[in-house]
Amino acid sequence: MLRQEPVLFQITYILLAICLITIPFDSFILLPAGVVLLGISLVNLFKKENKTPKNKENRIFFTLFLLFFLLNFLSIFYSQNKTFAFVKIESYVLFFMISPLFFTLNPQKMTRKRIEILLYSFMISMALVILVNYAISYNFFLETHRSYQFFYKYLSHFMHPSYQALYACVALLLSFYFITQRKKPLLFAFFSLFLLLYIFMLQSKAGIFAAILLLIFVGLYWINRKKIRYLFSALFIAIFLFIPVFLLKNIDIKINRVTTFIESLKREKDSDQNRDVRFLIWQNAWNVAIENLPFGVGIGDVHDKLNRAYEVNGLAKLQEKDYNAHNQYIETLAGTGVLGLLSLLSLFFFSFLYGIKNCKLLLPLFASIVFLFLLFESMLERKAGGDFIALFWGLLFYFTWVKEKTLN
């Protein structure tokens, strides 16, 4: 398929495939691959014969990518803990490397079909990692005879379950996309059920909420694809919401993290002992962010300031575990201030606007999933989150842009 293409394009495509295949297991390959891809992008950018079409939306999106990275990078210089700052910036560096890559790719070569093959490769790898996780958990179950071996962190052996849930939700979104394209719908319908079971058993709050929203959207899409049917839509939502509520009410409370979180919302606001630990983290992180406006403390000092806040407020256990903000928006506000937060939110806003404007829902739905996950975790603070989100965000924007250009 690639034999007649230029060597640089062949290398680019193969590296992207390797990244998408390996990332469900570990993101270790993305940094060295990103360095090579950045070099190829710069060569393409300065080629005289470069005929890659550009438009305003393309430039805006990848400028926002660069701006978000640049604001985080500049915060290194006013961070006191520069050693930690340089460690953290590695999680953001793919936002810098991805921008010129997709900006310089020629849509005549990186076609819609080739991008779909890349997406297939990620989904196959995701299916494999899930099967491996189940196999490892089953082995532990044979030793312990404890059902919790199939839930939460015991079912995610390669990374934190929240990150694994994000990957699974994106795979679920892609599966729904291929069903709507009428490409092996029965196979992808089965794969969707497989993913839904895994997401539920991971017990990631953001993962379960994102999967529910995706299912509601898909159901409404099929009900209203020819004309709007309000009664059927309302009935579908009512029946559908009953299913997850029933499951959450009847699962063992020891492994039911979603119900525990919801119950904590009902407790007394001022009773720290009865509140979910996440609320205590958010409260302290928010105070750190507000106290250091407008530019933040720098990405290298957020954890130090947060640990100091834990210490002052007598939260020794939180300090001992060195918890981050567990909310990317608060984390970004604390680290890079108002400009950093606005640059991150602008990526979401532009993705929603561009996708809906062109009637291409894959990009805004991906952005919605990421937006929800960032409410519960500081996912860009780890390479498993930052690398994955940067790579897929760039790829799905480019996919939307290529589809628009090839159809017009």
Q: Do 66 and 96 form a contact (C-beta atoms < 8 A)?
A: yes
- The domain limits of the chain are 7-407
* Cis amide bond preceding 294, omega within 30: yes
pLDDT digits 0-9 by tens, 85-95: 999 999 999 99
pLDDT at 274 (0 to 100):
46
pLDDT at 268 (0 to 100):
44
- Residue 299 has φ and ψ, to the nearest 5°, of -65, -20
pLDDT digits 0-9 by tens, 56-79: 788 888 899 999 999 999 999 999
Q: What is the spatial distance between Cα 148 and Cα 170, in angstroms, rounded to a whole number?
A: 25
Handedness of CA 76, 37, 121, 176 (dihedral sign): positive
pLDDT digits 0-9 by tens, 102-155: 888 888 888 889 999 999 999 999 999 999 999 999 999 999 888 888 888 899
Q: Rounded to whole angstroms, what are the CA distances from 63 to 36, 96, 364, 404? A: 21, 10, 18, 20
Give the CA dihedral 162, 166, 169, 175, nearest 10 degrees.
-140
pLDDT at 203 > cutoff 50 = yes
pLDDT digits 0-9 by tens, 263-314: 544 454 444 454 568 888 999 999 999 999 899 999 999 999 999 998 888 8
pTM for the whole structure: 0.88
The model's confidence at residue 230, banded by pLDDT at 50, 70 and 90, is low
The model's confidence at residue 254, banded by pLDDT at 50, 70 and 90, is very low
What angle in degrees, to the nearest 10, is found between the helix axes of 230-250 and 205-223? 150
> What count of other Cβ atoms lies within 10 Å of the Cβ of residue 179?
19
Residues 6+ apart with CB under 8 A from 280: 272, 315, 318
